[in-house]
Amino acid sequence: MKIISKLFLVILLSGFQAFHASGAYVGIEDSETLILQTSDKKSAMDELLNVLLLRSYNTRLVILSTTTLGTAAGIVGAFLLLRKRSLMGDALAHSTLPGIAIAFIIMVSFGGSGKSLAGLIAGATLTGVLGLLIMLAIRNTTRLRDDVAMGMVLSVSFGVGLAILGVIQNMPQASAAGLESFIYGKTASMVMADFMTIMVVALVCSLAAILMFKELALLCFDDRFAVAEGFPALRLDILLLVLVTTVTVIGLQSVGLILIIAFLITPPSAARFWTEKLPTMTFLSAVIGAISGWLGASISALVPKMPAGAVIVVVASSIFLFSMLSAPKRGVVARWIRYKDLKKKVERQHVLRAAFELVEEQKNGDSIVSNYPFPLQKLLAKRTWKAPKLNRILNHEQSIGHLERRADGMLQLSESGFGEAARITRNHRLWEIYLVTHADIAPSHVDRDADMVEHILEADMVHRLEEELRNSGAWIPSPHELSTRTQAS
């Protein structure tokens, strides 16, 4: 966690440097023409370096603030994701709109311009928290569920916000232009005061989340335990959501109302694929948020007609997609490969066990099963499998020396194959007996249940079963009648 706070310090310091380096206030129009002029004069390579190394004043403000915002949203969003409240950010973001509109009206009626970011943020936070409380009230006092409560607050408060904005647009005193940027985001129009507000608020939010790390983690993983231990769970819940609201509100102007939601959801979801530990996940989530903010804003500054908010979201989603596919443990590809491996193993074991059972049928009263050959047709009839698939598995077994195809068309297990088959069948039967004697499962039902677990039995467990059943060493007969085409599993 220290790393995160250090990161913040660095970002904040560079923000101050940005202020001192320029020493001048760059207004909206100035900054836009500034970008246009530089892009005309300098070569593409220079421009790339300019943006990436934050040389130009305006891009420095924009990129630093989106990076900071990504970090803060990543940290707060991690808890939101684990609390399974990701869409709460969506609802809260929408419920800030009436606050923004009301704050604007109040500021105008007191003679201001109505566009002070701090004032708008205060209004937004106020109705955001109000929306949050209404959401909790609906959930706690009615039969309606979380999703309805969220949808309710979202749509109604946004409607109220639009209605008030409609009033503002007809107001003679002030132009409401610029309030729109709260919905779609307008990073290019960022000024120093906005930048400082965003920096300070993001820092405070992240620090609050880090300071309350233990409590929030407890709330996310086991809220009832938190209550039983005497933690004020409801107040913690509200604290978390207030942090979310605050991050949402400062994000509104730079990435827009709809896209700030992505900032809260996507980086933590991507981080979740790489780790099982909350501190690591929070850190990764902050880093992914920061990278999306930095890269997105850079691309938007380099390529004409690329809205920063949208590009940031696309970058974050790409990171998410990459994580989802390629994370080593939880990733889709890794899990798919594991699944395929397991499936192959299970199929091989099925073949070997079926072969062993065929051999076993020919023992004619001997106490020891000897390795007789058997025809392919009989093996094919043992289970519901198709000839090509069975042949594929048989070929594989042949290649690793478990099986021989004899000249007369019969199949015979090799010595190692016979041992392996005997071991697998033994495990299967042990497990079946265990289920029959200890788990009260009818012998006629046991084959199928045993099939599912035998493939993952550890050697250790097998020993324990053998001991428990006092049956070690001897050959174990099947507890149920062996049939061809048993229930497929």
Partner 1 sequence: MNWTSFDTWIVVVGALCAVACTLPGCFLVLRKMSMMGDAISHAVLPGIAIGFLMTGARSSIPMFLGAAITGVLTAVFTQWVSKFGRVDRGAAMGIVFTTLFAVGLILIVQAADHVDLDPSCVLYGAMELTPLDTIEVLGVMIPRAAISLSIVLLLNLSLITLLFKELKLSSFDEGLSNTLGFSSNLLQYLLMSMVAVTTVAAFEAVGSIIVIAMLIVPPATALLLTRRLIPMIVIAASVGILSAILGHLSAVTVPKLFGYESTSTSGSMAAATGFLFTIAWLFNPSEGLLVKQFRNTKKINESVPVEELSS
Is 119 a residue that touches partner 1 (CB under 8 A)? no
Residue 412 pairs with which residues in a beta bridge?
404
Provide the mask over 207-246, with x wherever binding to partner 1 is found by CB under 8 A and - wherever it is not: ----------------------------------------
Site membership for partner 1, residue 180 (CB under 8 A):
yes
Question: Is residue 161 a contact point for partner 1 (CB under 8 A)?
Answer: yes
8 A C-beta contact, residue 101 and residue 109 = no
Torsion of CA 398, 403, 404, 409, to 10 degrees: -100
Binding residue for partner 1, selected from 48, 130, 162, 469, defined by CB under 8 A: 162
C-alpha 41: how far from chain center: 43
Task: Report the residue from 63, 154, 247, 403 that binds partner 1 according to the rule CB under 8 A.
Answer: 154
Give the residue with the Cβ less far from partner 1, 50 or 157: 157
What track of x and - describes contact with partner 1 for positions 89 through 108 (by CB under 8 A)?
xx------------------
For residue 84, state whether it binds partner 1 (rule: CB under 8 A).
yes
Q: How far apart are CA 439 and CA 188, in angstroms?
A: 68
**Separation between Cα atoms, residue 338 and residue 340, nearest integer Å:** 5
Spatial neighbors of 266 by CB under 8 A, at least 6 apart, are: 288, 292, 313, 316, 317, 319, 320
Q: Which range touches partner 1 (CB under 8 A), out of 57-65, 148-156, 354-362, 414-422?
A: 148-156
CA-angle at 447, arms to 446 and 449, nearest 5°: 65
Q: Does 277 bind partner 1 (CB under 8 A)?
A: no
Which DSSP category does 365 fall into? Answer: T
Across the strands, what pairs with 375?
A: 410
Residue 258 sits in the site that holds partner 1 (CB under 8 A) = yes
1, 48, 324, 380: residue in contact with partner 1 (rule CB under 8 A): 324
Write out the H or E segment, with its range, that includes residue 403: strand 403-405
Crossing angle for the helix pair 415-438 and 443-454, to the nearest 10 degrees: 120
What is the footprint of partner 1 within residues 326-385 (CB under 8 A)? 330, 332
Asked if residue 417 lies in contact with residue 403, where contact means CB atoms within 8 angstroms, the answer is yes
Q: d(Cα 136, Cα 73) in Å, to the nearest integer? A: 22
Decide whether 183 or 290 has the Cβ nearer to partner 1. Answer: 183
Question: Alpha helices of 212-331 — where are they, by DSSP H?
Answer: 213-221, 223-228, 233-255, 260-272, 278-302, 308-326
- Amino acid residing at 344: K
Q: Does 166 bind partner 1 (CB under 8 A)?
A: yes
- State in angstroms the smallest separation of the CB of 132 from partner 1: 15
Taking the complex as a whole, the smallest distance from the CB of residue 318 to partner 1 amounts, in Å, to: 9
Question: Whole-angstrom Cα distance, residue 308 to residue 287?
Answer: 18
| Amino acid at residue number 180 | E
Answer yes or no whether residue 273 interacts with partner 1 by CB under 8 A. Answer: yes
Nearer to partner 1, 182 or 374 (CB): 182
Least distance in angstroms from the C-beta of 383 to partner 1: 25
Told to check if 36 binds partner 1 by CB under 8 A, we report no
The strand pair at 374-375 and 403-405 is best described as unpaired
Q: Segment near partner 1 (CB under 8 A), from 20-28, 192-200, 306-314, 340-348?
A: 306-314
Out of 1, 108, 171, 192, name the contact with partner 1 by CB under 8 A.
Answer: 171
Phi/psi region, residue 54 (left: phi>0; alpha: psi -120 to 50; beta: rest), is left
CB of 232 to partner 1, least distance (A): 24
Query: Which residues of the chain form contacts with partner 1 (CB under 8 A)?
Result: 81, 84-87, 89-90, 138, 141-145, 147-148, 150-152, 154-167, 170-171, 180, 183-184, 258-259, 261-262, 264-266, 268-269, 272-273, 305-307, 309-311, 313-314, 317, 320, 324, 330, 332
